[in-house]
Amino acid sequence: MATMTNAFEMAQRQFDHVASLLKLDPQVSELLRWPMREYHMRIPVRMDDGTLRVFDGYRVQHNDARGPNKGGIRFHPAETLDTVRALATWMTWKCAVADIPLGGGKGGVAIDPATLSTSEKERLCRGYIDHFWKYLGPRQDVPAPDVGTTAQMMGWMMDEYSKLVGQYTPGVITGKPLGGGGSLGRTEATGHGVIYAVREAMKYLQMAPDQSVAAFQGFGNVSQYAAIGFKELLKGKVACVSYWDRDDRTSYTVSHPDGVDPRYLISITDQYGTIDKNKARTSGYVIEGGDAWLTKDVDVLIPAALEGQINGESVQAVSKRVRLVAEGANGPTTPEADEVLKSRGVFVIPDFLCNAGGVTVSYFESVQNDMNFYWTKEEVLDRLDTRMTVAFESVLEMAINDKVYMRDAAYMVAIARVVKAMELRGWL
């Protein structure tokens, strides 16, 4: 079976499938299967040793019928225009399915941030804004962190934008540091949102959370808080987590016979999600190859690293015990793998529903910036829980009523909302 690796082809193929189910007007499909605006800039940055390096930076705005474009900025060596297009497209569907009044955008720079010093990172962040600021703004396009970018970087970007426009503008970017316009609960938001969705799926599937075992891919922002939530909120067992080891340039799976303690592993993980495997080993953890997470005898898989990880080939290794796949990452499952999961009756919580917690709290952050009044962490997470639960229910209802796969149902809910906004604005 062919393995699809181009994320944008994957996003278009998923869309085309649902567009045909919905019998969507071909002209509307043509509008929605491509981003409305795309920018590619070459960003020169002075390195600490005095040399100049030029970085490829992207910002893509997929659709803003429902509100300003919204989506993270990723710093990753494999970033291309197509990965950014795919992620921007999924952001449109994510905001629509979460029913927040925002459109879809995404940005990226082809760089491994771990290879830069702190001051080089700051110059790259400021350079990114110097090049793209005209296309950004609280009512235009609002970036946020993603893989390889941090709250501190958002703080520098907000500062650069504020200088360029001549006024303090915290609402131009979300995921900012606390005390610098950030919202309480944003760090936990995506991972906890995944767990709220898992909790609702388990109710529907009549699975007992405290008897369930999960395997995680990735151990960065999303996976760390999802693992904490799985263990502490649902009382389930975390069998293992996998991660990319920056020193060895390969991935590993870290497990413990009694279950993983996510808080301990976080204490020995660096800011890029690389676990100190020697410390883990001396604390009784077992280190295996990076694909082992997918083959574990578990009830739940939570891919929370990168695109295309569960594909036509790797899906064959998934244990027959798995009943639920909760997609913390964007695009972790290829259409080929989807067919296999569907035929096995595995319940999938699709990415743009499952990981919508991050953008939902980003939206709360903009609302708090606009009001200049900040909520408690409890208020933020309670509101997030309500939003995630309502979004999950709307997709599940569609899946049950129309007898469709959860991913198709999520697309149907999202596309209907975007098409309605385009109609109301007179675009169609």
Residues that bind ligand NAD (CB under 6 A): 146-148, 190, 217-223, 242-244, 251, 273-274, 290, 304-306, 328-330, 355, 358
List, in sequence order, the alpha helices (H) in 287-376. Answer: 335-343, 351-354, 357-371
Burial class from Cβ neighbours inside 10 Å (0-12, 13-18, 19+) for residue 345 reads exposed
- Residue 218 or 236 with smaller CB distance to ligand NAD: 218
Q: How far is the CB of 245 from ligand NAD (least distance, A)?
A: 7
> 122-127 — which CB contacts under 8 Å span 24+ positions?
122/153, 122/156, 123/45, 123/46, 124/43, 124/45, 124/55, 124/75, 125/153, 125/156, 125/157, 125/160, 126/156, 126/157, 126/160, 127/43, 127/44, 127/45, 127/55, 127/57
Instruction: Select which of 94, 106, 121, 237 is catalytic.
Output: 106
Q: Which is nearer to ligand NAD, 29 or 187 (CB)?
A: 187
Q: Which is nearer to ligand NAD, 72 or 419 (CB)?
A: 72
> CB of 348: closest distance to ligand NAD in angstroms?
16
Length of the chain: 428
**Distance of closest approach, residue 221 Cβ to ligand NAD, in angstroms:** 4
- The CB-nearest residue to ligand NAD is 220
Closer residue to ligand NAD, CB minimum distance, 122 or 146? 146
Give me the least distance between CB of 242 and ligand NAD, in Å please: 4
What is the separation of C-alpha 395 from the centre of its chain, rounded to a whole number of angstroms? 18
Shortest separation between residue 166's beta carbon and ligand NAD, angstroms: 30
Q: Which two tokens stand for residue 44?
A: 């020169």
- Shortest Cβ 387–ligand NAD spacing (Å): 14
Closer Cβ to ligand NAD, 57 or 113, answer by number: 113
Residue type, 142: V
- CA pair distance 283, 267, nearest whole angstrom: 12
Residue 107 half-sphere exposure toward CB, CA atoms < 13 A: 28
134 given a catalytic annotation: no
DSSP secondary structure letters along 240-279:
EEEEEETTTTEEEEEE-TT---HHHHHHTB-TTS-B-HHH
Contact between residue 308 and residue 337 where contact means Cβ atoms under 8 Å apart: no
Question: Which CB sits closer to ligand NAD, 78 or 424?
Answer: 78
Exposed (0-12), middle (13-18) or buried (19+): which is 414, by Cβ within 10 Å? buried
Residues with a known catalytic role: 106
